[in-house]
Every structure is written in structure tokens, then in C-alpha cells.
Structure 1
């Protein structure tokens, strides 16, 4: 009996380690007042807003940016400051009505940044892609 109890405890500890870990997420309230759940670890980013693009590149996370809006791709200030922008996929523009949801889906982003003046579009993208916007 004395040998069985420690064996059972070890077995319980080993099995507890086999439980599937959920990916850590953070709940935030965005500038539009929407509650959004975002992953704690982000590897793939799409920016649909030049201001967000500037901030992402200034923070040095340009290697995680996989898609940009059309204006970020052609903005003279951004393209001069960050020439590597030309190598990032253009997903169109929500302001010009050229946003390609198909391209967004192909890029498999972990998060999408966009302006706060169109929360309906943010909700629609979040629902259709399953990605926080």
C-alpha cells in the first residue's frame, strides 16, 4: 500500500501534464468601445490603417506584418522610411472599397488592425475570419 500511493500520485502528476493547454488570450476594449479577445502571442499581423502601420514599424515588429492596406503600400513617407513595405502583401483598402477578404484569409493573421470609424466592418471581418480586429 505504501508503494501504491506514491505511484498513484506520480501517475496523476504525469496525466495532469497531458491536459491540452489553451492559448493565452487577453480581453481588451478597443477605441470603438468593442470588447475584443486577442492572443497573448502574435506572430502574423495585418494592418488596414497607415497609422497602425507606422506604429508597428516604429516598434520594430515589421517582420510580423504579413499584409497591408493599399495606402500603406504607396504612402511616400512610409515607403521611404521603410522600403521593405514593398515586399508585404497588399490586401486592398477598406476606405476605397477594395479590401480583399480572400487575401486576408490566405494570410492567416493572428490579429488585424484598422481604423475605429467602421466598427461594423471590424465585426464583420472578425466574424468571417475568426481573427480579432
Structure 2
């Protein structure tokens, strides 16, 4: 056998080994979903999309933000979407791992891929267009493009139920995990985007991302409405506990007890329920502002 033939034979052999080692096959640039598919979802948003596509029975593990639909709460957890354990993920023997790009650290991606597991990561922009793009991209990649089209159309239909605000209320989103962890959502956050989409105005618009709350900053922001995750408000002991936070009682929201609580994944997930979340928040803003 000459050297060229030998190299061809070796390359062909290595290619066969590579194909055998891959746990998930591709066909026409799409991932093939079959009876052996095992998915770990690293985001509550991607989990929602997968379930909406009819792939819930293929999911074997999720991150802690995956709370919808209720059935996924019973699945094994692999950590928070910003602090994942590669060992916990790989232990579930997935064929595919799916998540949001900004939440998957390079080291985690390398560890997953080193285990010969297909890793799919998608960008997510906090907008209606961003939600629809994520759904369409994920659906197409998995060979469910037609279902993806249906889901994106439902977002538009759901958003049409939004109530226009007669007066744009100043809304402050507070992230809380007890009185010791209180953060205000600034610009370029999912909470700020949802406030804008529902017809409100972010009361904390002088900074990006999240910033610790002080009594002075609360009084300066003087929101008409305070918006929180239901779990965050519960961690403070409800509205009465929130009013004990220095500065809250001095705001318009505090004086009038105008507080809105919503499920965290529903409010800021920007998945298939985006239109419903916008409509729901707009309705609550309208009702709380006119009373």
C-alpha cells in the first residue's frame, strides 16, 4: 500500500471512530431527535421552548430556573443557569445540552464537548423579536421549524391583548433574596425590557444591569409601582415586609402600597409566553394605576 492510500485508510478509520463516538447525529444540518435522545436544558427559557415543541419527554435534567411547565420541577437539577456543574450535567448521560449563550462559560462548554456531548447554545435578546428568534432558531435546529412558526405567531397574538397605559407609570423592579440582598434592575435587563413592553417606564434608568438598593436611591427613584418576583416578595415577608425596607415607605409606590408580584420565569423568561407576560403586566399596571 502506498503512502497516499495508507493516509486515506487511516483518515477513513478515524472518521468512523469519530462518528461512533458522537452521541447525537446530524442530518441536513439539523439535530436528529430519536428514541435515544437525552436532553439537559440549562435555561428556564430553553426548557419552555423544548416543552412547547413537544420534547418534554426527552428532557432528563434542567437548571433551577426551569420551573415551567410544572412537570419539569421534578427533574434532576444541575445548578443555576449562571453557575453550572459539568459533572452534574454529564452524570445524566445527555446526548444534547441546550442553553443560552451568555450563561455558558467557556470552561463549561469545553468540559461538555470533551465528553462528546452535543452542545447547542443560542443568543437571547430581551425583546419580542429576540424571543421569536430564539424559538425559531432552536426549533429549526431540532427539525421542528413548523412548530416554531406556530409558537412565534402565538406570541404576537398574545401580545395583542396588551392594555395601553393612559399614563406611563414609573416602575422599579427589585430583585430580592431576603432583606440582605436587594437589587434594582437598571437598563439592559430583562425586567427593564418587560416594563417598557408593558407600557411602563423603568424608574432606575441611570445605570445598566443590577445595582444594590439604598434608602437614598429608592427615594430618588420614587417609583409609582414596585415590581418583584413573587419569590422575592415572599422572602421579605410580603408587602408589609417590603414596606419595612428603608426608603420604600417614602416612595409613591410605598405610600399607596402599589406592588406587583409575578412569577420570575413568566415575567423575564422571554420564551413562548412572552406575549402573555406583556399582556398580564400591562393589565396589572393599568389596574393598579387607576385605583
- Please identify runs of 4+ aligned residues in structure 1 that moved more than 6 A: none
Cα RMSD (Å): 2.7
| 3-state DSSP of counterpart to 1:53 | helix
Q: What CA distance in whole angstroms lies between the structure 2 residues aligned with 1:115 and 1:27?
A: 23
Distance 1:46 1:27, change over 3 A: farther
Q: State the alpha-carbon separation in 2 of the partners of residues 125 and 26 from structure 1.
A: 25
Contact 1:68–1:91 at 8 Å: present in 2 too? yes
If asked which structure has higher relative contact order (CA below 8 Å, sep 6+), I would say 1
Structure 2 equivalent of residue 67 of structure 1: 61
Question: Is there any run of 5+ residues in structure 2 with no aligned partner, and where?
Answer: 1-18, 120-291
Provide the residue aligned with 2:217 in structure 1. Answer: none
Distance in 2 separating the partners of 1:27 and 1:89: 32
Q: TM-score, normalised by structure 1?
A: 0.59
1:93-122 alpha-carbon deviations (Å, 9 max, x no partner): 241x2x222221111111001111246246
Structure showing greater radius of gyration is: 2
* Structure 2 residue 74 is matched with structure 1 residue 87: yes
The one-character-per-residue Cα deviations of 1:18-65 (angstroms, maximum 9, x if unpaired) are xxx96742485xxxxxxxxx7523510010011111101111111110
Q: TM-score, normalised by structure 2?
A: 0.29
Distance 1:64 1:121, change over 3 A: same
Q: Select 1:132's aligned residue among 103, 118, 134.
A: 118
Answering whether residue 9 of structure 2 is matched by residue 41 of structure 1, we say no
Residues 1-133 of structure 1: pairs in structure 2 closer than 5 A? 24-26=25-27, 39-42=31-34, 43-73=37-67, 78=68, 82-95=69-82, 97=83, 99-117=84-102, 118=104, 120-121=106-107, 123-133=109-119
* Higher deviation after alignment, 116-125 or 86-95: 116-125
Deviations 1:54-80 (A, max 9, x none): 10111111111001011114xxxx2xx
Runs of 5+ unmatched residues, structure 1: 1-20, 29-37
Contact 2:90 2:112 in 1 (8 A): no
Tell me how far apart the structure 1 counterparts of residues 53 and 107 of structure 2 sit (CA, whole Å). Answer: 26
